[in-house]
Amino acid sequence: MALPERWDMEVDVAVLGSGASATTTAILASDNGAEVAVLERADVVGGTTALSGGVLWVPNNHHMAEAGIEDSREDALAYLNSLSLGMMDDELVGTLIDTGPEMLRYMEDNTPVSLHVFEGYPDYHPENPGGKPEGGRSLDNDLFPFEELGSWAERINHQPDAVFFPATMLEIDTGQVEAIPQDVLEARRARDMRSTGQALAGSLIKGCLDREIPVHTATRARELILDDSDAVVGVRAERNGEDYFVKARKAVVIASGGFEWNEDLVKAFLRGPMTAPTSSPENEGDGLLMAMDAGAALGNMSEAWWIPGIHVPGDEMRGRTFARLILAERTWPRSIIVNRYGKRFMNEAANYNAVGHAFHTFDPNTFEFINLPAWLIVDSRYQAPIARHRVGPDAPDWIRRAETLAELAAEIDVDAAGLEETVAGFNEGAVRGEDPDFQRGVSAYDSYNGDRSQEPPFTTLGPIDTPPYYAALIESGALGTKGGPKTNAQAQVLRARGGVIPGLYAVGNAMAGVTAMVYGGAGGTLGPGMTFGYIAGMNAAREPDHIA
């Protein structure tokens, strides 16, 4: 748009969004001498980061070395390249691997961010070249005391029914929490110590507050402002129902998340159906639309951080129905996922991004996505909660129940003969600890989220043979999209007609994903997001002032 007649605020760098990528950018820009402001569309801060597990995937990080886990640039490159199908940008991936450890050290040395190795958490494809079956690249957050945030503690994004237990994800995941003395737990509660994405988002917001970086909520960026030379010099936002013009003397950084909540953009760009986003409902592609208007080149637009999701009736966030990620539910013994023909179509215990791709299988004869709808099938001896609800006589109505597989198939409109045949075949292998069809239980990752009271592969394999039987509808979902404006290794947005758009950067899920279709391991979203936020913040602060 044309230059406005007035500026309501002037800064050096305007950062759009308040998740981990955005706040890392803001902190680095400030530390490099820039005057910074954060503009957040929602009334709360932290974005999808605050809803997430908060794990960072950073190859060759210093915590690995301290734990005696070997890694190298060569291993990390070999691993990602083994999964990329030739879709990754070599320069960007090299930058990610080289700069990630530097980013991590800087953030831990200069902000409240504090992490540790998520012990034993393997990469998502650990048997691939350069993979780490023993883990080390995925980093869990130390507990962060929300008492340090003052009034901002109530403004960190979270699900309406969230319960914040005073233990790290690692402690909860490995059962170490059972050994924590009661007085330690009470001391943690007294300081409102939180883990996972709450700890990461909270510590990063505290880093911004410590630097007196203003964080403006309920301020929705709508349009980039360009000067006569097509350099970005500001942004038009909406605030209190009116236009709010922010001048950015050096740069605007788009860090406003993906477009998974925008139905038109989902239909226009994604490779297949996606009906179950689990992220913040404000992620409607505002940054993407602004970048497109400014002439940005786009990349990776068909991809997302795929997941199998489930809608629980009544689950709402800020007036919109949200979905829940299905993880342990499909990994525990006595469970399978089937399509309308009653057939399995994947290794249910594989990582959720890989599982998500399976929903997009298209049959050219029937002209349909043959694996949608899908159903999680379990029996009465199944032990994991399904979206926090147990099977049994008290299970909610949306978890369907029947005394026989044929009756269950009729209840959910699935082919009965196909379901019975599938369960019989699965059971035959499961009792032996085998899955000839999809090799479930073979990978080290398959057993991690299953029943670890058993020995692999029975951590994930067990027969479905004890009635009554239960079914829950599974949908194609996403943690966020991973397509957007293409950037160079400096995080500058590239112009569709060549060159860069001066004064414009993009990071996180708002940029074209650095790892393309690859999800290397737990934290494969936040690690790259914060790394390129680190890069963008430094470079944006060093931009020359644009005249406007």
Q: How far apart are CA 306 and CA 351, in angstroms?
A: 10
CA distance readout (Å), 527 to 202, 417, 513: 17, 46, 12
Q: How far apart are CA 11 and CA 81, in angstroms?
A: 40
For residues 507 and 253, is the Cβ–Cβ distance under 8 A?
yes
pLDDT in tens, 87-135: 999 999 999 999 999 999 999 999 999 999 999 999 999 999 999 999 9
Report the pLDDT averaged over residues 455-471: 98
Q: Which residues on adjacent β-strands are paired with residue 247?
A: 10, 234
Q: How far apart are CA 360 and CA 369, in angstroms?
A: 6
In the DSSP assignment, the letter for residue 246 is: E
Please give the pLDDT value at position 2: 80
Return the sign of the alpha-carbon dihedral for residues 79, 85, 88, 90.
positive
The token pair that represents 266 in the structure block: 């989902």
Report the pLDDT averaged over residues 6-14: 97
Q: What are phi and psi of 80, to 5 degrees?
A: -65, -40
Task: Say whether pLDDT at 156 is over 80.
Answer: yes
Instruction: State the pTM of this model.
Output: 0.97
Please give the pLDDT value at position 174: 86
Task: Say whether pLDDT at 1 is over 90.
Answer: no
Please give the pLDDT value at position 535: 98
Report the pLDDT averaged over residues 265-292: 97
Q: How far apart are CA 253 and CA 504, in angstroms?
A: 6
Question: Cβ–Cβ contacts within 10 Å for residue 321, how many?
Answer: 14
Where does the pLDDT of residue 175 fall: very low under 50, low under 70, confident under 90, or very high at 90 and above?
Answer: confident
Q: What are phi and psi of 64, to 5 degrees?
A: -60, -50
Report the pLDDT averaged over residues 295-321: 96
The token pair that represents 37 in the structure block: 């402001």
Q: In sequence order, which ranges of 237-394 are alpha helices (DSSP H)?
A: 263-269, 286-293, 328-331, 352-358
Report the pLDDT averaged over residues 476-493: 98
Q: How far apart are CA 533 and CA 32, in angstroms?
A: 13
For residues 522 and 479, is the Cβ–Cβ distance under 8 A?
no
Report the pLDDT averaged over residues 452-480: 97
Return the sign of the alpha-carbon dihedral for residues 325, 331, 335, 339.
positive
Give the residue among 356, 361, 301 at the shortest CA–CA distance from 323: 356
Where does the pLDDT of residue 287 fall: very low under 50, low under 70, confident under 90, or very high at 90 and above?
Answer: very high
| Residues contacting 235, CB < 8 A, separation 6+ | 14, 16, 39, 221, 222, 223, 224, 225, 245, 246, 248, 252, 290
- Dihedral, CA atoms, 326, 201, 286, 509, nearest 10 degrees? -60
Where does the pLDDT of residue 245 fall: very low under 50, low under 70, confident under 90, or very high at 90 and above?
Answer: very high
> What is the overall mean pLDDT for the chain?
97
Helix (H) or strand (E) holding 14: strand 9-16
**Buried b vs exposed e over 340-375: b needs ≥16 C-beta within 10 Å?**
bebbbbbbbbbbbbbbbbbbbeeeeeeeebbbbbbb
Q: How far apart are CA 132 and CA 82, in angstroms?
A: 13
Q: How far apart are CA 150 and CA 373, in angstroms?
A: 45
**Which single residue is written with the structure tokens 């951080």?**
305
The token pair that represents 487 in the structure block: 């950037």
CA–CA–CA angle 510, 512, 514 (5° rounding)? 115
Give the residue with greater pLDDT, 445 vs 174: 445
Q: How far apart are CA 232 and CA 501, in angstroms?
A: 7
Q: How far apart are CA 132 and CA 444, in angstroms?
A: 10
Please give the pLDDT value at position 548: 61
| Residues contacting 219, CB < 8 A, separation 6+ | 39, 40, 41, 237, 238, 239, 244
Please give the pLDDT value at position 161: 87
Please give the pLDDT value at position 547: 67
